[in-house]
Structure formats: structure tokens, C-alpha cells
Amino acid sequence: MAQTRYVDRPIPQISLKDFDNRINEITTELISAAENVGFFTLIDHGLSKEDIESIFMTSKSFFELPDETKKTVPWNTNNVGWEKNSQIRPSTGKPDSKESYQLQFGDNMKGLWVADEHLAGFQTTALEFMHRVQGISDKLMRCFARGLGFPEEFFIKCHDVARPDSQTTMRLLHYFALPEEADGKVYHRAGAHADWDFLTLLFQKEGQSGLEICPGRESVTEFGIGDEWTKVEAKTGEIVCNIGDLLMSWSDDRFKSTFHRVKAPCESGDYFGDRYSIAYFNQPCKDALIQGPLKKYPMVTGAQFTDSAMKRNFAALQEKLKAVAAA
């Protein structure tokens, strides 16, 4: 396999300290990060390293359950539940080598919370953490609303997690340990993709590296991926945030939804061990009305936006599978 081409690109680090007094300054920093690299890291966000380590322990306890137990909460197309080695990305045409458990706040979770008899207190612990991450998301949404000239509460209302049909999702991820000796196979961890949500907040664990980004996308309708990657360091206390396609569209392409991946380890210095991460995806309410201030794209509802993102992804996947079959 050809060597990966790496370039250094600064990923801004933004502090949320003293948020209410510093909201103007923080907004300026967020807007600049969103307009350029599309990724930034947050510090002083209110979650301690211990809080984050503790939710990672809960996540690990879930993934250590036997598959037979995890199968009691299977993934479905509402984007909830547990899956293993089943997510195929259009960029690779191969399943990611991982398992994940997706959680939401509302009715979609009926029957899909792992039962207390298998993992005591899981639902309470997960929901408590999700509400805290939503609190951080709310701060970011306030700033992005200001930056785009919407009323300050606008995006928060459009992503209200108190509604029973809320779509916002927290995804626990476990990438399996892989053989360090080359065996002729490529084990994708998370194949290159852009997220289709509003904003993603990602928690990583120190030492478990692999996340890489590839900026350069000019419009949300374009799919091309460049080939120069930049590594994002894994630090337990920081939150890595990225703009999703929804915010790119809602900003008339001003803010960039950047391609990223968790690299298939294959070169010296790559990390081959078990990797745990947690991604929190801010998804719109189904009836939210989405259109940027410049009206670059036609107005759509949250439900239509998500539906067409999934269809576009599916169509790109079919193309890729055809190309793989023809090769």
C-alpha cells in the first residue's frame, strides 16, 4: 500500500471558560475554525477527565458483554442499537472493523436500552452524560446562531432533545485490536466520510490514536476526497468537534464539513490496539426548517435533510460496490 501523505494543519483549540462573559470572543474563534479546517478541539468545557474516563468504563463494560446479550438491543434504521462489523462506507466499500452502540433520548430507544440485569444502571448513566454533552452543544449552537445572524436560541430549538422524536444520537464505538503483521488484508476502522449532522462532539482516549482529517470540500453537494491527511491527537480531556453537512448547508457552505476517518493501521507508528471513542451527533428535529441566510439551497425539513443524506450515502455506496465488483 502506498504511504499516506501527511501535512500539518493547525486544529484550533478553543476554551469555553467563563462562557457567558466571553461569548463574543468564543464565537469569533468558533466561526474562524468552522470557516477554515472545519475541526476544532474544546477545553474548559465543564466535563472533567474523570467524567470522561468514567463513561469510557461504562462503554467498555457494555462491549465486554457477550454478543448474545448485545444482540438483545440490535441496530435499526432509526440509528439506534448495537451493530458489529456491519457499517459499509461508500469510500471503502468494506465494513468498518468495529462495533458500536447508538443511543438517543426519546421514543426510538423503546426496548433498545440494555437491561439492568445485564448492566446495572446503564441507561441512567448514559442519559446523564448525554444531557451534559447536550449542554456543551447548546453553547456551541448559541455561538453559531449569532455568527449566522439567527436568533440566539434558534439552533437549540431546532435540536430540542426533550422532544419524544428527538434524533440526536450518542454513539459508543469499539474498534477491535488488529494484527500488526501484514496479512494482505486492509482492516478499515472508520472509512473516510463526512458526518451529516449539525455538529459532532467526539471523545477519545489518550494513546488510542487514528483519527485523521482531510479538509478541502467547497460545497456540501460535492463528494471528492483529497489525499493529504492530518492527524488529530487523542487526548482524554479534550472534545474534538467537527461541522457536519447539516451546518455546512445551513451556513450556505460557509462552514466546512470535513472528510475524516479512523485510519486502517498499516504503517509504522500507527496504533493497532483496541480503540474506544464516543461520538455525539446533534441531529435536527424532524420538522425543523433548514435554510441558510443566503438561501443557497431550497428549504427542507430536518426529516427531508436526513432522508436525502442517507439516500445520497446509499447511492454512493452502490456506485462503489459496482466499481469494486468490476475491478
Ligand X SMILES: O=C(O)CCC(=O)C(=O)O
Best CA proximity match to 123, nearest among 173, 163, 170: 170
Radius of gyration of the chain (CA): 19
Residue 211 binds which of ligand X, Fe ion, none (CB < 5-8 A, kind-dependent): ligand X
Question: How many residues are present in the chain?
Answer: 327
Q: Between residues 251 and 257, which has the closer beta carbon with respect to ligand X?
A: 257
CB atoms within 10 A of CB 305: 23
C-alpha cell recorded at residue 156: 437549540
The answer to whether 253 contacts Fe ion (rule: CB under 5 A) is: no
| Sign of the Cα pseudo-torsion (238, 240, 246, 252, in order) | positive
DSSP 46: S
Q: Between residues 178 and 202, which has the closer beta carbon with respect to ligand X?
A: 202
Q: Between residues 148 and 240, which has the closer beta carbon with respect to ligand X?
A: 240
Q: Between residues 45 and 89, which has the closer beta carbon with respect to ligand X?
A: 89
To ligand X, the closest distance from the beta carbon of 211 in angstroms equals 4
Q: Between residues 47 and 173, which has the closer beta carbon with respect to ligand X?
A: 173
- Which run of H or E residues covers position 220? none
Q: Using alpha carbons only, give the angle 232, 237, 243 rounded to the nearest 5 degrees.
A: 50
- DSSP string across 77-99: TTTBEEEES--B-TTTSSB-SEE
Residue 92 binds which of ligand X, Fe ion, none (CB < 5-8 A, kind-dependent): none
**Residues contributing to the site for ligand X (CB under 6 A):** 171, 173, 190, 195, 202, 204, 211, 260, 262, 277, 279
Residue 278 binds which of ligand X, Fe ion, none (CB < 5-8 A, kind-dependent): none
Query: How far is 254 from 272, CA to CA, in rounded Å?
Result: 36
Query: How far is 61 from 57, CA to CA, in rounded Å?
Result: 6
Residue with cell 462503554: 59
Strand 211-214 to strand 259-262: parallel, antiparallel, or no bridges (unpaired)?
Answer: antiparallel
Binding mask 194-213 for Fe ion (x = CB under 5 A): -x------------------
Residue 277 binds which of Fe ion, ligand X, none (CB < 5-8 A, kind-dependent): ligand X
Q: Using alpha carbons only, give the angle 281, 54, 192 rounded to the nearest 5 degrees.
A: 35
Residue 173 binds which of Fe ion, ligand X, none (CB < 5-8 A, kind-dependent): ligand X
Choose the binding region for Fe ion from 18-26, 48-56, 172-180, 188-196 (rule: CB under 5 A): 188-196
Choose the binding region for Fe ion from 8-16, 75-83, 163-171, 191-199 (rule: CB under 5 A): 191-199
Residue 172 binds which of Fe ion, ligand X, none (CB < 5-8 A, kind-dependent): none
Phi, psi at 98, each rounded to 5°: -165, 170
Q: Nearest to ligand X by Cβ — which residue?
A: 277
Residue 96 binds which of ligand X, Fe ion, none (CB < 5-8 A, kind-dependent): none
Which residues make up the interface to Fe ion (CB under 5 A)?
195
